[in-house]
A and B are shown apart, each in its own frame.
Chain A
Amino acid sequence: MRKFYLIGFALLLLFDTIGQTSFKLTAKHAEPLAASLDWLIRVFTSPLVYVAISAYICTFFTWMILLKKAPVGPAFAASHLEIVTVMFVSIWVFNEHITLIRFIGAALIIIGIIFLAIAEKNIHQQQTKIESK
Chain B
Amino acid sequence: MSSLVIILWILNVLFDTIGQIAFKYAAINPRNRDGWHYWSDLFRNYWLWIGIVSYIAEFLLWLAFLTLVPLSQGILIGSFNIITIMIMGRLLFKELLTKYRIIGMLFITAGVICVGVS
- A101-B118, A115-B103 known; A109 and B68 CB under 8 Å? no
- Inter-chain contact count A-B, CB under 8 Å? 131
Q: How many residues of B contact A (CB 8 A)?
A: 38
The answer to the question of A59 belonging to the interface, with a C-beta cut-off of 8 Å to chain B, is no
Q: How large is the interface on A (under 10, 10 to 19, 20 to 34, 35 or more residues)?
A: 35 or more
A10 located at the interface, meaning its Cβ lies under 8 Å from any Cβ of chain B in the complex: no
- Does B35 touch A at the CB level, under 8 Å? no
Please determine whether B104 and A112 come into contact, CB atoms closer than 8 angstroms. Answer: yes
Among B67, B71, B103, B108, which residue has its beta carbon within 8 angstroms of that of A86? B71
Which of B64, B98, B107 contacts A112 (CB under 8 A)? Answer: B107
Knowing A106-B76, A106-B111 are in contact, say whether A116-B82 is a contact too (CB < 8 A): yes
Binary interface encoding of chain B residues 77-118 relative to chain A, with 1 for a CB under 8 A from any of its CBs, else 0? 001001000100000000010111101111111111111111
* Selected contact of B72 from candidates A82, A98, A101, A104, CB within 8 Å: A98
Inter-subunit contact B98/A122 (CB<8 Å): yes
**Given A105-B111, A105-B114, A109-B111, A24 and B71 contact (CB-CB distance below 8 Å):** yes
The residues of B with any CB-CB pair to A shorter than 8 Å are 60, 62-64, 66-68, 70-76, 79, 82, 86, 96, 98-101, 103-118
